[in-house]
Chains A and B, each alone.
Chain A
Amino acid sequence: MLIFECPYCGVLADETDLAAGGEAHLKRFGPGSTDDEFEAYLFNRENPKGVHFERWRHINGCGKWFNAARCTITMEVFGTYPAQTLEPPTEITNNISIKRPVWKWKEFS
Chain B
Amino acid sequence: MSRRFSNKGRLIKADKPIKFHFNGVQFTGYQGDTLASALLANGKLLLGRSFKYHRPRGVVSSGPEEPNFLVNLGKDHFFEPNQRGTMTNIFEGLSATSQNHFPSLEFDFGEINSWLARFLPAGFYYKMFIHPRPFWKYIYEPLIRMSAGLGQAPKAKDGSTYEHFHAFYDVVVVGGGIAGLQTALVAGRSGIKVLLIEQHASWGGRAQIDEDEIDDAPVNSWVNKVLEELAAMPNVSLRTRMTGVGVYDHGYFLGYEQLNDHKANKDGPRHRLWKIRSKLIVCCTGAIERPVSFAGNDIPGVVLASAVRDYAINFGVSIGQKTVVITNNDDAYKTAIFLKESGLEVPVILDAREHGGGEAAARARAIGIRVENGKVISRVIGRKRVRGVNVCLSSGEGETTERIGCDAVAMSGGWSPVVHLWSHCGGKLEWNDESSMFCPDKSRPPTNENGESFVETVGAASGNTQLNEIVEEATELGLSIGRKFGGKQIRSNVPKVKQHVENPVEPLWFTPRRAKRKLRNKTFLDFQNDVKISDVELAAREGFESVEHLKRYTTLGMATDQGKLSNINGLAVLANALATPISKVGTTTFRPPYTPVSMGSIAGSARDSVFQPVRMSPIHSWHVEHDAVFEPVGFWRRPYCFANKGEATEQAVNREILQTRSSVGILDASTLGKLIVSGPDAGNFLDLVYTNMMSNLTIGKCRYGLMCSENGFLIDDGVVARIGENTFLCHTTTGGAERIHSHMEEWLQTEWWDLQVFVQNITEQYAQIAVVGPNSRKLLNKLGGTDISKEALGFMEWTDALLGGFQTRIFRISFSGELSFEISVDASVGLDFWNALLDAGSDYGVMPYGTEALHVMRAEKGFIMIGDETDGTIIPQDLNLNWAISKKKNDFIGKRAHERIFMRNPDRWKLVGLETLDGSVLPDGSYAVGAGRNRNGQKHTIGRVTSTYFSPTLNRGIAMGLVQNGPDRVGEVIKFEKISGEIVEATIVDPVFYDKSGSKQNV
Partners in one complex: yes
A63 to B749: give the CA distance in the assembly, Å: 10
Residues of B within 8 A of A59 (CB): 742
B896 in contact with A83 (CB, 8 Å):
no
Q: A31-B899, A76-B450, A76-B451 are in contact. List 9 more A-B contacts (CB 8 A).
A: A2-B250, A21-B746, A29-B896, A31-B895, A38-B900, A42-B711, A64-B749, A65-B749, A76-B449
CB-based closest 3 A-B pairs: A1-B252, A84-B753, A76-B451
Chain A's closest residue to B253 (CB) is A1
Counting chain A CB atoms within 10 Å of each CB, which of B447, B451, B890, B897 scores highest? B451
B250 in contact with A1 (CB, 8 Å):
yes
B449 in contact with A2 (CB, 8 Å):
yes
A2 in contact with B249 (CB, 8 Å):
yes
What would be 25 A-B contacts, judged by CB atoms less than 8 Å apart? A1-B249, A2-B250, A2-B449, A3-B250, A3-B252, A4-B449, A14-B277, A21-B750, A28-B751, A31-B891, A31-B895, A31-B896, A38-B900, A55-B750, A63-B745, A64-B749, A65-B746, A74-B447, A75-B449, A77-B449, A77-B450, A83-B749, A83-B750, A84-B750, A84-B753
A1 to B890: give the CA distance in the assembly, Å: 43
Chain A's closest residue to B688 (CB) is A30
**Min C-beta distance of A1 to chain B, whole Å:** 4
**Min C-beta distance of A55 to chain B, whole Å:** 7
Residues of A within 8 A of B749 (CB): 64-65, 83-84
Residues of B within 8 A of A65 (CB): 745-746, 749-750
Q: Is B426 an interface residue (CB 8 A)?
A: yes
B895 in contact with A30 (CB, 8 Å):
yes
**Min C-beta distance of B565 to chain A, whole Å:** 30
Produce 1/0 per residue, B243-255, CB < 8 A to A: 0000011111000
A74 in contact with B426 (CB, 8 Å):
yes
Q: Which of B423-470 contact A (CB under 8 A)?
A: 426, 447-451
Set A1, A28, A74: member contacting B451, Cβ < 8 A: A74
Residues of A within 8 A of B277 (CB): 3, 14
Set B451, B745, B751, B897: member contacting A99, Cβ < 8 A: B451
Residues of A within 8 A of B354 (CB): none
Q: Is A44 an interface residue (CB 8 A)?
A: no
Residues of A within 8 A of B890 (CB): 31
Counting chain B CB atoms within 10 Å of each CB, which of A4, A14, A33 scores highest? A14
Residues of B within 8 A of A1 (CB): 248-250, 252
A50 to B753: give the CA distance in the assembly, Å: 29
Residues of A within 8 A of B449 (CB): 2-4, 75-77
Q: How large is the interface on B (under 10, 10 to 19, 20 to 34, 35 or more residues)?
A: 20 to 34
Residues of A within 8 A of B895 (CB): 30-31
**Min C-beta distance of A68 to chain B, whole Å:** 10
Residues of B within 8 A of A28 (CB): 751
Residues of A within 8 A of B742 (CB): 19, 57, 59
Chain A's closest residue to B895 (CB) is A31
Q: Is A91 an interface residue (CB 8 A)?
A: no
Q: Is B710 an interface residue (CB 8 A)?
A: yes
Q: Is A35 an interface residue (CB 8 A)?
A: yes
**Min C-beta distance of A92 to chain B, whole Å:** 14
A4 to B249: give the CA distance in the assembly, Å: 12
Residues of B within 8 A of A32 (CB): 896
**Min C-beta distance of B447 to chain A, whole Å:** 6
**Min C-beta distance of A87 to chain B, whole Å:** 14
Q: Which of B738-753 contact A (CB under 8 A)?
A: 742, 745-746, 749-751, 753
Produce 1/0 per residue, A18-56, CB < 8 A to B: 010100000011111101001000100000000000010
Q: Known contacts A21-B746, A64-B749, A65-B749; is A35 also within 8 Å of B900 by CB? A: yes
Produce 1/0 per residue, B220-251, CB < 8 A to A: 00000000000000000000000000001111
A84 to B753: give the CA distance in the assembly, Å: 6
A57 to B447: give the CA distance in the assembly, Å: 24
Chain B's closest residue to A59 (CB) is B742
Q: Which of B696-723 contact A (CB under 8 A)?
A: 710-711
**Min C-beta distance of B32 to chain A, whole Å:** 37
Residues of B within 8 A of A76 (CB): 447-451
B250 in contact with A30 (CB, 8 Å):
no
